[in-house]
Amino acid sequence: MPTHEFKVEMTCSGCSNAVTRILTKKLGEGAKFDVNLDDKSVTIDSDLSMEELKEMLEKSGKAVTYIGVK
Amino acid sequence: MPTHEFKVEMTCSGCSNAVTRILTKKLGEGAKFDVNLDDKSVTIDSDLSMEELKEMLEKSGKAVTYIGVK
């Protein structure tokens, strides 16, 4: 399963918690992802397309940039 | 048009900007709403139901509480 990396404009733990909550809700309990506030990165192991994942992250209202497959 | 008030767990300007972006996108350009980071409140002038507005705000991934009609 590919690991997709995104940059998400998160500036406090409230931001990163919100992104974590969205991904848990959308991807389900067993999902493998990592939200890192320090380097504003989000990595997601998923067979979903980059577009689908990006749209999911953008629901947070934050600016999202796709970095690539790790 | 009623003014609905919500409490939204916003802890930095990144949080409040994200909520503003979501409301602008969902309600459209002419929408009348106010996002206040200091008292973590969001007021929205809208004919939409409280449930629809709450769901919209929850898309941000933040905890939302309905206060009432102002």
pLDDT per residue rounded down to tens, chain B (70 residues) = 999 999 999 999 999 999 999 999 999 878 899 999 999 999 999 999 999 999 999 999 999 999 999 8
Q: Is the CB of B20 less than 8 angstroms away from the CB of A61?
A: yes
Q: Is the CB of B12 less than 8 angstroms away from the CB of A12?
A: yes
Tell whether A16 is within 8 A of chain B (Cβ): no
Q: Where are the domains of chain B?
A: 3-69
By C-alpha distance, the chain A residue nearest B8 is A14
Taking Cα atoms as reference points, which of B46, B61, B63 lies closest to residue B5? B46
By C-alpha distance, the chain B residue nearest A56 is B59
Tell whether B12 is within 8 A of chain A (Cβ): yes
Q: Judged by CB atoms within 8 Å, which residues 25-44 of A form the interface with B?
A: none
pLDDT at B30: 82
Helix extents (H) in chain A:
13-27, 50-58
Q: Which of A12, A21, A22 sits opposite B14 (nearest CB)?
A: A12
Whole-number Å distance between alpha carbons of A7 and A49: 16
pLDDT at B63: 97
Taking Cα atoms as reference points, which of B32, B20, B31 lies closest to residue B60? B20
Q: Is the CB of A62 less than 8 angstroms away from the CB of B14?
A: yes
Task: Please tell us whether the domain made up of B3-69 is placed in CATH 3.30.1490.100.
Answer: no
Chain segment A30-69, per-residue pLDDT in tens: 889 999 999 999 999 999 999 999 999 999 999 999 999 9
